[in-house]
A and B are shown apart, each in its own frame.
Chain A
Amino acid sequence: MQTTFTSSRILLPVKPWFIVLSLFVALVLNFLPTAEWPWIPDWVALTLIFWSVRESRRVGMGWGFFLGLVMDVADSSLLGQHALAYVLATYLASALSKRILWFPLMSQALYVLPLLILVQLIQVAVRIIAGANFPGLEYFVSPLIGALLWLPLTYALLLPQYQPVERDANRPI
């Protein structure tokens, strides 16, 4: 696997335990008491989208659904609200993954932004149908921050897969 399809750097295969660990860490980050700061991104959504773009075979809608239910209980929102949003986002991310990986990282972030906005939009729609008030536009700031974090997140999560650069004149790549 390469960092992007256009780069020549070849990565080591991903370790499954690292995927689980990163999703776990994202869940703990979401559990942090950050209700006062609505601009903090939804770490679980971001990490889920990341892995469904990179490893769409390993991380898919099942993980999205499961983590969504956990987030629903933790946020005391309607049961199925996060699950629905995450399932749709992971589906679209893995469907778009073949295309997204051709772009440089900053352009990838432009693909991720609508997905993150979609996660918020679905939740707003569900809650407004269920009778809640519109929470205000600051609810849509966190996807912007999340998209900006795409570049550092990619480097952080791909770090274990980088191998040392060995220059070898006899090897083609």
Chain B
Amino acid sequence: MEYQPPPFFKRGPAPLALLTLYVAIAVTLLVLDARLHTLELLRQTIGTLTHPLQVAAQQPLRLLEGIGERLQSASVTQDELARVRREHLERSAEVLRTQQLEAENTHLRELLGLAKREEMAARAASVVRTARDPFSLRIVVDKGTQDDVVAGQPVIDDKGVVGQVTRVFPFVSEVTLITDKDQAVPVQIVRNGLRSVVFGTGGGRLELRFLPASADVQEGDILVTSGLDGVFLPGIPVAKIERIESDSVYAFARIHCVPTAGVENFSEVMLLAPRKANALPAELGENGRQPPGERQTRARKKHASAE
């Protein structure tokens, strides 16, 4: 054994060795997270531990908003209150009528022997912040597993679909907006019932893909959810067709849409309760069963391989 004198200064491992170690760990984490999605537990732990800090960071902004509201003059507040009361009154007539229509609809469906429409349950959540990640469009809302939020829940605002819950932490959850590049929503054109899928393009726009150039699509058409995905209830407004470019070079028309909801600009959203998975026919058995939240991913994968 060769004798080595003790080092004068304790410096730990060589920097290059440490660098190699850390880079190796980071790359492993990246691959595990991007390809296998197996690090949710680690993410949950760090997210929960840093939650108080994140709440603390929100406080200055809240305080500023609070001061702004307090400085607002009484007359403005009165006006706003009057407006809200008026709107509430107008809405309440609509709500009463809707309730009556719903009862009538159930009754008629029973008479016709059709399946019952699924009921809509929703709860409000306020948007805490927009995620700082510039590569994906996500918002963070203030409801988490503590409030029984699960991944895959649809999120809407008062005008239409906003997105879908993609990650749930104990106190907050992340919502991927429909304008995100990785988000797809099955839709139906109100005017003629034509079904398709709308994809986010980033930059606050959506695109209706894979419709032939000869399809019956017009500018100004309203798209609503078709409900075929088993995630979104049918009939919720999603987007409005803004521009159609049909080029004879391509088989498909390029159809640009604007979201109807205030996507990327809101403070309160509604989380819809997850839809119950429909029982599959017996011949498909257990093998064909997929939880409703994963169906869209599967569709997306298919789409990715087609490209």
* Contact status of A84 and B134, CB under 8 A, knowing A60-B18, A70-B46, A94-B15: no
Give the distance in Å from the alpha carbon of A130 to the alpha carbon of B33 in the complex: 10
Q: Which residues of B contact A65 (CB under 8 A)?
A: 22, 25-26
| Contact segment of A4-12, A108-116, A132-140, A155-163 | A132-140
Decide if B43 touches A73 in the complex (CB within 8 Å): yes
Q: Which residues of A contact B167 (CB under 8 A)?
A: 76
Instruction: Kindly provide the distance from the CB of A40 to the nearest chain B CB, expressed in whole angstroms.
Output: 9
Residue in chain A with minimal CB distance to B49 = A70
Give the distance in Å from the alpha carbon of A57 to the alpha carbon of B33 in the complex: 31
Q: Which residues of B contact A73 (CB under 8 A)?
A: 43, 46-47, 50
Decide if B54 touches A31 in the complex (CB within 8 Å): yes
Residue in chain A with minimal CB distance to B134 = A135
Q: Which of B42, B53, B58, B129 contacts A79 (CB 8 A)?
A: B42
Give the distance in Å from the alpha carbon of A35 to the alpha carbon of B136 in the complex: 11
Q: Indicate if B262 sits at the interface (CB-CB under 8 A).
A: no
A-B pair count, CB < 8 Å, reads 119
CB-contacts of A107-162 with B (<8 A):
126-127, 130-133, 135-136, 139
Q: Indicate if B89 sits at the interface (CB-CB under 8 A).
A: no
* Contact status of A76 and B138, CB under 8 A, knowing A28-B56, A31-B54, A91-B15: yes
Q: Which residues of B contact A77 (CB under 8 A)?
A: 133, 135-136
Q: Indicate if A170 sits at the interface (CB-CB under 8 A).
A: no
Decide if A28 touches B33 in the complex (CB within 8 Å): no
A side interface size, CB within 8 A? 45
Q: Indicate if A41 sits at the interface (CB-CB under 8 A).
A: no
Q: Which of B11, B30, B56, B128 contacts A81 (CB 8 A)?
A: B30
Q: Indicate if B84 sits at the interface (CB-CB under 8 A).
A: no
Decide if A32 touches B26 in the complex (CB within 8 Å): no
Decide if A79 touches B29 in the complex (CB within 8 Å): yes
Decide if B30 touches A27 in the complex (CB within 8 Å): no
Q: Indicate if B207 sits at the interface (CB-CB under 8 A).
A: no
Q: Indicate if B57 sits at the interface (CB-CB under 8 A).
A: yes
Q: Indicate if B228 sits at the interface (CB-CB under 8 A).
A: no
Specify which of B23, B30, B47 lies most central, judged by the most chain A CB atoms within 10 Å of its CB.
Answer: B30
Decide if B136 touches A132 in the complex (CB within 8 Å): yes
Q: Indicate if A20 sits at the interface (CB-CB under 8 A).
A: no
Q: Which of A33, A80, A94, A139 contacts B58 (CB 8 A)?
A: A33
Give the distance in Å from the alpha carbon of A113 to the alpha carbon of B46 in the complex: 30
Q: Which residues of A contact B25 (CB under 8 A)?
A: 65, 80, 83
Decide if B33 touches A80 in the complex (CB within 8 Å): yes
Decide if B19 touches A61 in the complex (CB within 8 Å): yes
Top 3 nearest A-B pairs by Cβ distance? A80-B29, A31-B57, A33-B129
Query: Besides A61-B22, A87-B23, 4 other CB < 8 A contacts?
Result: A31-B53, A74-B50, A78-B34, A84-B30
List, sorted by A's number, 20 A–B pairs whose CB atoms are closer than 8 Å. A31-B50, A33-B61, A33-B130, A60-B18, A61-B22, A64-B22, A70-B46, A73-B50, A75-B131, A78-B30, A79-B29, A79-B39, A83-B29, A87-B23, A87-B26, A88-B23, A91-B18, A126-B30, A132-B181, A133-B202
